[in-house]
Chains A and B, each alone.
Chain A
Amino acid sequence: MRYTGSVNFILWYLFIPLLILFYVCFLFWSDQNYSNNSIKELVSRKVEVTNNHSSIDGVIIGGSNAMFGISASSLEKFTKLKWINLGIPGEGFSDINYLDFISKTIDPERRNNISYVIYSSSTFFKENLRPELQLDLYGKKKISYKPQRSLASYIKSSLGFNQKREFFLSNTYGDLDFSGYDCEIIPTIEINKQHFLQKEDLDIWLPMQLSRIVNLFPNAEIIITLPNGFYKNNNKRNKILKEINKILSSYESIYGRYIHIESQKPYPSSDLMCVDYWHPNEKGREWRTKQLYNVLANSKK
């Protein structure tokens, strides 16, 4: 028992305080060394792409579904207008982050000349509105009592076990370059996009987001697209579409310009999908972009 007592003493007065000290040091280290290189690189290359264009006619904005699913280069071919794709993963992790990124990336003069904005957002599919400013543009969280990543995941990465897919970007339009991207469907990745924003949340969020976009692009027609995956349409989707239409029709007259909602049809085949059943591959992107072009063509009429 005497030996047990001394072991307990060492554990309680030496080992446990050392563990706590180690943890505090790890917290600061994790905060200082957080890097989401793939997103950082993607964002900086989107800025580079935008700077290479002296004038832009149309811009695609939104989250990963816009980045994977809409091609600026194809739209340019169809419409003979200059397009860029500014979709980034997680849509900047908050609306304020993302719209701030856009306003800094395209200067006001070029924004004034933009005629079309296609906004493809996953926010419509969130059960609750995402909180503002909890994460930065690259997904880094504010320092708290929890580290940015777990120690286990750092160890796993250092041993080469983390299979993180890097994003590749073609330089001219901001489109994703699928040639270097492994699109194999991972069955364990399950993205449930059958939930939709509650009406109360939609009534708050959509007008707010719309006014932000309208202010950023004062002369553009705005096409909001309700993305889809390889899922069947359901009643909830039709219901939210009606609600969105109601909101948009009232704001169209306020802002005095064309604001339209397009509900994307589900992808017709799983062969058009990449990694999961929400994001398309190159073929899926072409399929969706053509659909969008039809909407644009109709809007011109």
Chain B
Amino acid sequence: MKILLLWILGAVFFLNFVTNTEFKIEFALFPFLFCYSFIILFRFFPNKNFKTFVAYLLFFSTSIFTLNNILLPLTGSINESGYIFLYGFPFYTATVAYLLICNKQVNLLSALKITNPLLLATGPIVLFFKNYSYRRLHLRINYYLPFFIVGLFLFQTVGAPLVPAFKLIEATDLVGSILFAVIFELFVYMNFCGLSLMLYGVFGIAGYKIPLNFKQPFSSKNIIEFWRGWHITLSAVLKILFYEPIRKHSTPGIALLVVFFASAMWHGVTLNFLIWGIFHASVFIITLFFLKRNINIIPTIILIIGVIFGRLIFADSNTDRLLDKLLFSYEGLGAFNTILSLPNITKVSLVIGFNLVAIEFFFRNTKILKKRNYKHLRTPLALAIMLIITIFLIDQGTINYAVYGQR
């Protein structure tokens, strides 16, 4: 009953507050019926090979749909598919694929959990949805409300005002491209991580534990640690579906290449994602090479380069423009003028955002940051400061959308 209530609340919340286009109840109902029909299907056909085949088909169905432009590639800009029945499709198909490969028992209740409209709009991929109601409400509020406040701050106060800086995507020179990549990386982090933390908080208060999708990815020394903290649920799905089965028969390098290829295809079948997948797989393998030889400084440099150039490739699905950018032509520092012409709120958000990332990175070995669960932002003092800044800056002028949702 409580799960159903949460599902309805999720739908109502989106109906009123979050979606940019008109929300229709079919958006939410179709995913539920889709997942439930699969659950019934596997009751009648429990064959393991059949399940495995369907799991991979489901995972790559997102790629197939982006190939036909039915779903839009996930570049990070506002992407809303014209096909309302595909609302949150990449998330729930990935969840069903994961559950099938893990051979987990699924039922009507699981379908309601997986397809909660809140989770479909923003992620994360629901790998688990544990009942946590045995803890008293005030204890849950004490623990989970700070996650919600931190998430709100990252999403609304830091992330949303960065949208006007996206005009830098047009810049094809070296400085302009890098500036765009850095700002866009910051935006994606603040947006996706902020929403994930907010949902972690909301579901926690309601008595359910869902995966924490981000764990301070910038508190990393190298790209391997970075991926352990970034979009963790997708990494878990990729590990179960691709890395582990391929690793049994092949080298880690090949397994990694396949993992990043699959990840790229999940984001969309476009040239930039293919390049992005190969690029990140290479960065991962090179990092492994250095770490095996106990060389730590080079992987940190590779991390910075990898994240920035990875985002540069990721964000631009316009092939001609991307190829222009990859020529790395230096045309002066004109791009900084664009930054100066941005609205004040965007500049303030940039400063706050870079400071937050810098704190994550430079203080990663301190006690409060070591657990990588945003404890440094969850202290009452930090929460009070974040709330004050939010109250000062929040207005209706900013564009809100879930960077990983609503395709």
Residues of chain A having any CB pair with chain B under 8 Å: 7-8, 11-12, 15-16, 19-20, 22-23, 26, 131, 141, 144-153, 187-188, 190, 192
B327 on the A face (CB < 8 A): no
User: Are B384 and A23 interface neighbours, CB within 8 A?
Assistant: no
User: Are B396 and A151 interface neighbours, CB within 8 A?
Assistant: no
User: Are B17 and A145 interface neighbours, CB within 8 A?
Assistant: yes
Q: Classify the secondary structure of B's interface with A.
A: helix
Beyond A8-B381, A146-B394, A151-B392, list 14 extra A-B contacts (CB 8 Å).
A7-B381, A8-B380, A11-B380, A15-B384, A19-B388, A20-B387, A141-B396, A144-B396, A146-B398, A147-B394, A148-B395, A148-B396, A188-B341, A190-B341
B393 on the A face (CB < 8 A): yes
User: Are A147 and B396 interface neighbours, CB within 8 A?
Assistant: yes
Give the CA-CA distance A26 to B392 in the complex, in Å: 11
B355 on the A face (CB < 8 A): no
User: Are B396 and A152 interface neighbours, CB within 8 A?
Assistant: no
Closest 9 pairs (CB-CB, A-B): A11-B380, A150-B395, A8-B380, A12-B380, A188-B341, A141-B396, A152-B392, A146-B396, A19-B387
0/1 interface trace, chain B 371-384, chain A, CB 8 Å (1 if under): 00000000111011
Quick one: which of A145, A150, A188 has the most chain B CB within 10 A?
A150
User: Are B395 and A16 interface neighbours, CB within 8 A?
Assistant: no
Give the CA-CA distance A42 to B59 in the complex, in Å: 56
Residues of B within 8 A of A8 (CB): 379-381
User: Are B391 and A144 interface neighbours, CB within 8 A?
Assistant: no
Q: How many A-B residue pairs have CB under 8 A?
A: 63
User: Are A152 and B393 interface neighbours, CB within 8 A?
Assistant: yes
CB distance from B310 to the nearest CB of A (A): 26
Residues of B within 8 A of A11 (CB): 380-381, 383-384
Among B131-148, those with CB < 8 Å from A are 142
Give the CA-CA distance A149 to B156 in the complex, in Å: 14
B345 on the A face (CB < 8 A): yes
CB distance from A161 to the nearest CB of B (A): 10
Give the CA-CA distance A23 to B390 in the complex, in Å: 10
CB distance from A87 to the nearest CB of B (A): 23
User: Are B167 and A192 interface neighbours, CB within 8 A?
Assistant: yes
Residues of A within 8 A of B392 (CB): 150-152
CB distance from B386 to the nearest CB of A (A): 10
0/1 interface trace, chain B 1-35, chain A, CB 8 Å (1 if under): 00000000000000001001100000000000000
With both beta carbons as reference points, the residue of chain A lying nearest to B340 in the complex is identified as A188
User: Are B167 and A146 interface neighbours, CB within 8 A?
Assistant: no
- Given A23-B391, A151-B391: A144 and B341 interface contact (C-beta under 8 Å): no
User: Are A146 and B395 interface neighbours, CB within 8 A?
Assistant: yes
Residues of B within 8 A of A187 (CB): 341
User: Are B393 and A150 interface neighbours, CB within 8 A?
Assistant: yes
- Given A146-B396, A190-B341: A16 and B384 interface contact (C-beta under 8 Å): yes
Give the CA-CA distance A79 to B16 in the complex, in Å: 50
Residues of B within 8 A of A190 (CB): 341
0/1 interface trace, chain B 336-360, chain A, CB 8 Å (1 if under): 0000110001000000000000000
B391: which of A15, A19, A149 is its contact (CB, 8 Å)? Answer: A19
CB distance from A202 to the nearest CB of B (A): 16
Residues of B within 8 A of A188 (CB): 340-341
Residues of A within 8 A of B156 (CB): 146
- Given A8-B380, A16-B383: A153 and B391 interface contact (C-beta under 8 Å): no
Residues of A within 8 A of B398 (CB): 146
Residues of A within 8 A of B379 (CB): 8
Give the CA-CA distance A194 to B259 in the complex, in Å: 40
User: Are B345 and A150 interface neighbours, CB within 8 A?
Assistant: yes
User: Are B396 and A16 interface neighbours, CB within 8 A?
Assistant: no
CB distance from A19 to the nearest CB of B (A): 5
With both beta carbons as reference points, the residue of chain B lying nearest to A22 in the complex is identified as B391
Give the CA-CA distance A190 to B343 in the complex, in Å: 11
With both beta carbons as reference points, the residue of chain B lying nearest to A20 in the complex is identified as B387
Give the CA-CA distance A153 to B388 in the complex, in Å: 14
Residues of B within 8 A of A16 (CB): 380, 383-384, 387
Residues of B within 8 A of A149 (CB): 395-396
Residues of B within 8 A of A12 (CB): 142, 380, 383
Among B49-104, those with CB < 8 Å from A are none
Residues of A within 8 A of B167 (CB): 192
5 contacts between A and B (CB under 8 A): A8-B381, A141-B396, A146-B396, A147-B396, A188-B341
Quick one: which of B21, B345, B396 has the most chain A CB within 10 A?
B396
User: Are B17 and A147 interface neighbours, CB within 8 A?
Assistant: no
Among B287-341, those with CB < 8 Å from A are 340-341
Give the CA-CA distance A111 to B35 in the complex, in Å: 56
With both beta carbons as reference points, the residue of chain A lying nearest to B382 in the complex is identified as A11
- Given A11-B381, A188-B341, A192-B167: A144 and B17 interface contact (C-beta under 8 Å): yes
With both beta carbons as reference points, the residue of chain B lying nearest to A186 in the complex is identified as B341
CB distance from A9 to the nearest CB of B (A): 8
CB distance from B39 to the nearest CB of A (A): 36
User: Are B393 and A19 interface neighbours, CB within 8 A?
Assistant: no
Residues of B within 8 A of A26 (CB): 391
